[in-house]
A = this chain, B = another copy of it.
Amino acid sequence: MLHSKLIHPKSIVIVGGSDNIYSPGGRVLKNLLDHDFKGQLFVVNPKQKSVQGVTSYNDINDVPEVDLAIIAISAKYVLETVKVLTQHKNTKGFIIFSAGFSEKDENGEKLEKEIVELIDDAGGSLLGPNNIGLINKHYTGVFTTPIPEMDEKGVDFISGSGATAVFIIEAAQSMGLTFSGIYTVGNSAQIGVEEVLEYLDQSFEEGLSSKVKLLYIESIKNPLKFLKHTTSLISKGCKIAAIKAGSSEEGNRAASSHTGAIANSDVFVDTLFKKAGIIRCYGRNELITVAGILLQKESQGKNIAIITHAGGPAVMLTDVLSKNGLKIPHLESKESEVLLSQLFDGSSVSNPIDFLATGNAQQLAAIIDFCENKCPEIDAMAVIFGSPGLSGVDDVYEVLDKNIRTSQKPIYAILPSVVNVKNEIQEFVKKGNIAFNDEVLFGNALAKVYNHAPGSEKIKDPVLKNYQKIRKLIDVLPNGYMPTESAVKLLEYTGVRFATPFYIKNKAELNKASESVAYPVVLKVEGPLHKSDVGGVILNISNEKALHNSFQKLMQIEGATSVMIQPMVRGTELFIGAKKETNYPHVILCGLGGIFVEVLKDLSASMTPVSEAEAVRMITQLKAYPILKGVRGQSGINIQLFAQAIISISNLLIMVPEIAELDLNPLMAAEDELTAVDVRIRLEK
């Protein structure tokens, strides 16, 4: 939990404060003074008694007790400073701008650890090192500009990169995005993104706290903590949009060289975000556009009215929205005839509502009133209004401003004339509005917001059958691939049916086996890895003679060690897989087997624990889902059984976190049963 003195200090010391406002220590002081910090301010500067008019001490030991220290001195002096502050000055909040710690080398890492230990022991909170600081309603503790417009209903923004935070603040300015708090975590030595989320979660107050959270993340060290607090915030009505950079292999390399981030492969991030209900973004402009939408009223549905005085942008917006599943319903009614009569000749009210280049404020008011009050089929409005430079648009933007406030339905303002009516847009934004400028960027963001799934429903702790038996089986096994017999046993305990195999190495064993075998059976060569490729699988053997012939044939394959006999199971090939990575819960994958996995990569992924609804969603989201339902006269499979198998595997993974990889490939789906015919499980304890 973040210490209250970090959040709301009554006194701040700038260690390394100076008159040079182009240095971090000088600029943070200027920012605090310019933005009217209400508490006491001190500076530590070895050479001056006064810095920018603030009392300066030459020695840290001379400073009075102080809530928060902002440290902007060379890395090598930081430890000593922190020691004095924690042990003698009752300081609980620390922001360390200085670089040269864990992001640099091993020595830096050691130093950073020692600093954290001191602060931990004192029960304090540390933001940084190597960050740009923190801004909230109490103080502007950053050394960068610009200081954005702060507003309790603005967004809370947590950034793993200081520069990215600055660039986002800059880009947000012209669109009117305001902030409630900005937290940059730098090296996350003590407080990382997860800890700030924990703070925002635990300090959340309905009606007071901002409901929109933005994240820029390069690494998630503690996915479970991250999940816990994002889920909790979302359950309190918050919306979270996030960039997780370093999602490509090469991006990971870039992220690693940047902040020593752990490489997280992308599907883990994706399923984690889905589990929580986070809107995933991929760039700064996308993130702030999504934020701009989230700050406005929530739309009750997917039906958008596009209101425009310029055809082109309306067509492009219509394209992007309808390609992404939103609707631009055709409007035709007596009321729309009345509206049409109020517009200039040549206007169209069928949606997009085009009131022509000559359209005016009064007409816009009539159109908005029409959409708000006379079109129950409309959920939200997007108004596109720029200017070719001939006439002012103040009156139009006033109508927009007024209606955005009073309307029940959200109204999004797309104001593309960033040159011709620049001042009018600034005025509009100053009144607390959001101005989007590119209709396609806006449209993609709107679709992203509308289409994003809520997080997983809360599920009861799963019933874990045979827990003791399973642990007993696993605990004695070494790392690596489980022997097939053990894996089959494990599936049995888990409740997944398996086509029990047995193995024969020679004629004698074959003769013995052939007496008890229930035909038809399958023979598979053991030894070669890719059995199909070497002709090592013979299906549908229905008598003793064929059994003998097939055995001989398979044993002649290069590398053959034995032959596996398995009952012949018919049905549709399915696939269930699972993987674990670092501290994340397992990811489970499902799909149709065979070419659908290997060639078409048609797979759905989810993070454990998987609920029944989630399992069904995984299946229905497959491109090949119609095949599972049944197409072209072929009957489908039993979806419930498939979902149940996914849940059983999910439960298994919770019981056996040591499972690093699991493959059921294929599972055969017959009318009313599902039987795995191949299993591979790798343990990593």
List chain A positions with a Cβ less than 8 A from chain B. 22-24, 27, 99-100, 103-105, 132, 143-146, 159-164, 166-167, 170-171, 173-174, 216, 218, 243, 245-251, 253-255, 257-259, 282-286, 306, 309-316, 318-323, 327-328, 330, 345-346, 348, 350, 352, 354, 356-357, 386, 388-391, 416-420, 437-441, 532-535, 537, 594-595, 598-600, 602, 623-624, 626-627, 631-633
B166 touches A420 (CB 8 A): yes
Contact check, B420 vs A171: say whether CB atoms are below 8 A apart: no
B631 touches A599 (CB 8 A): yes
Chain B contacts for A320, CB-based, 8 A: 282-283
Partner of A166, one of B322, B350, B388, B437: B388
**B258–A314 touching, CB < 8 Å:** yes
- On whether the beta carbons of B103 and A438 are closer than 8 Å, the reply is no
Instruction: Choose among B146, B257, B285, B626 the residue that contacts A420 (Cβ–Cβ < 8 A).
Output: B146
Which of B143, B315, B599 is A388 in contact with, Cβ under 8 Å? B143
CB within 8 Å for A632 and B440 given contacts A251-B322, A599-B623: no
Q: Is A132 a contact partner of B388 (Cβ separation < 8 A)? A: yes
Interface-centre pick from A143, A164, A259 (highest chain B CB count, 10 A): A164
Complex contact B389–A27 (CB within 8 A): yes
24 A-B pairs with CB atoms under 8 Å apart are A22-B390, A100-B346, A161-B310, A161-B311, A163-B311, A163-B388, A164-B316, A166-B386, A166-B388, A166-B389, A170-B416, A171-B438, A173-B419, A216-B312, A218-B315, A245-B315, A246-B315, A248-B322, A254-B315, A283-B439, A284-B416, A284-B439, A285-B438, A599-B627
Nearest neighbor of A320 in chain B, beta-carbon distance: B282
A322–B173 CB distance below 8 A = no
Question: A27 to chain B: which residues have CB within 8 Å?
Answer: 389-390
Q: How far is the CA of A387 from the CA of B434 in the complex (A)?
A: 25
Q: Is the CB of B145 within 8 A of A251?
A: no
> Are B345 and A100 touching (Cβ within 8 A)?
yes
Question: Are B22 and A391 in contact (CB-based, < 8 A)?
Answer: yes
Pick from B313, B390, B419, B627: contact of A24, CB under 8 Å: B390
Chain B: which residue is nearest A286 at the CB level? B440
Given A27-B390, A283-B441, A441-B283, A254 contacting B318 (CB threshold 8 A): yes
Identify the closest chain B residue to A104 (Cβ): B346
Query: A286–B320 Cα gap in the complex (Å)?
Result: 13
Q: Which residue of B lies closest to A142 (CB)?
A: B388
Shortest Cβ distance from residue A604 to the other chain B in the assembled complex, whole angstroms: 15
Residue of B nearest to A625 (CB): B599
Task: Tell me whether A306 and B254 are in contact in the complex, defined as CB-CB below 8 angstroms, given that A440-B284, A599-B623 are known contacts.
Answer: yes
Chain B CB count within 10 A is highest, among A166, A306, A350, for: A166
Chain B residues within an 8 Å CB radius of A348: 257-258
Contacts of A314 in B (CB 8 A): 254, 258
- CB <8 Å contact, B440 and A386: no
Chain B nearest CB, measured from A515 CB (Å): 31
Interfacial chain B residues near A312, Cβ < 8 Å? 159-161, 163-164, 167, 216, 218, 245, 258
A145 proximity list for chain B (CB < 8 A): 388-389, 419-420
With A322-B251, A328-B250, A533-B633 in contact, do A144 and B310 touch (Cβ < 8 Å)? no
From B163, B173, B441, A310 is in contact (CB under 8 Å) with B163
Q: Are B316 and A419 in contact (CB under 8 A)?
A: no
Question: Given that A438-B285, A598-B632, A599-B626 are contacting pairs, would A315 and B255 also be in contact in the complex, using a CB cutoff of 8 Å?
Answer: yes
Contact A632 B418 (CB under 8 A): no
Which 3 pairs of residues, A with B, have the shortest CB-CB distance?
A: A283-B440, A163-B310, A164-B312
A164-B312, A250-B322 are contacts. A352–B532 as well, Cβ < 8 Å?
A: no
| Inter-subunit contact B388/A144 (CB<8 Å) | yes
Q: B residues within 8 A CB of A388?
A: 132, 143-145, 162-163, 166
Interface pair A163/B253, CB less than 8 Å apart: no
Asked whether B346 lies within 8 Å of A163 as measured between CB atoms, the reply is no
Assess whether A257 is in contact with B354, with CB atoms less than 8 Å apart: yes
Question: In the complex, A174 Cα to B419 Cα: how many Å?
Answer: 9
Q: With a CB–CB cut-off of 8 A, which chain B residues contact A104?
A: 345-346
> Roughly how many angstroms separate A533 CA and B632 CA in the complex, as a whole number?
6
User: Is there an interface contact between A632 and B594, defined as CB atoms closer than 8 Å?
Assistant: yes
Q: Known interface pairs A161-B312, A623-B599. Does A285 touch B632 (Cβ–Cβ under 8 Å)?
A: no
User: Given contacts A22-B390, A22-B391, A250-B322, are A417 and B170 in contact (CB under 8 A)?
Assistant: yes
Q: Tell me whether A390 and B595 are in contact in the complex, defined as CB-CB below 8 angstroms, given that A312-B161, A346-B100 are known contacts.
A: no
Task: Give the residue among A145, A174, A283, A532 with the most B Cβ atoms within 10 A.
Answer: A283
How far, in angstroms, from A173 to B419 measured CA to CA in the complex?
Answer: 8
Q: Which residues of B sit under 8 angstroms from A321, Cβ to Cβ? A: 250
Given A144-B388, A311-B163, A438-B284: A316 touches B251 (CB 8 Å cut-off): yes
Q: State in angstroms the CA–CA spacing of A159 and B216 once bound together.
A: 38
The answer for the CA separation of A595 and B327 in the assembled complex, in Å, is: 29
Contact B330 A253 (CB under 8 A): yes
A249 to B315, CA, bound (A): 11
In the bound complex, CA of A386 to CA of B282 (Å): 19
Contact A532 B248 (CB under 8 A): no
Query: A109 to chain B: closest CB distance in Å?
Result: 12
Give Cα A478 to B594, complex, Å: 46
A254 lies within 8 A of B163 (CB): no
| Nearest B residue to A259, CB-CB | B311
A416 B599 Cβ-Cβ under 8 A: no
List 20 additional A-B contacts (Cβ < 8 Å) besides A144-B390, A145-B388, A532-B632.
A104-B345, A104-B346, A105-B346, A163-B388, A164-B313, A167-B312, A167-B313, A174-B418, A218-B312, A246-B319, A248-B319, A250-B328, A254-B328, A255-B315, A257-B350, A258-B311, A258-B315, A282-B319, A284-B440, A595-B627
Contacts of A418 in B (CB 8 A): 170-171, 174
Cα–Cα distance between A438 and B243 once the two chains are bound (Å): 14
A316 CA / B145 CA spacing, docked (Å)? 22
How far apart are A104's CB and chain B's nearest CB, in angstroms? 4
A564 to B105, CA, bound (A): 79
Q: Which residues of B lie under 8 Å from residue A352 when comparing CB positions?
A: 254, 257
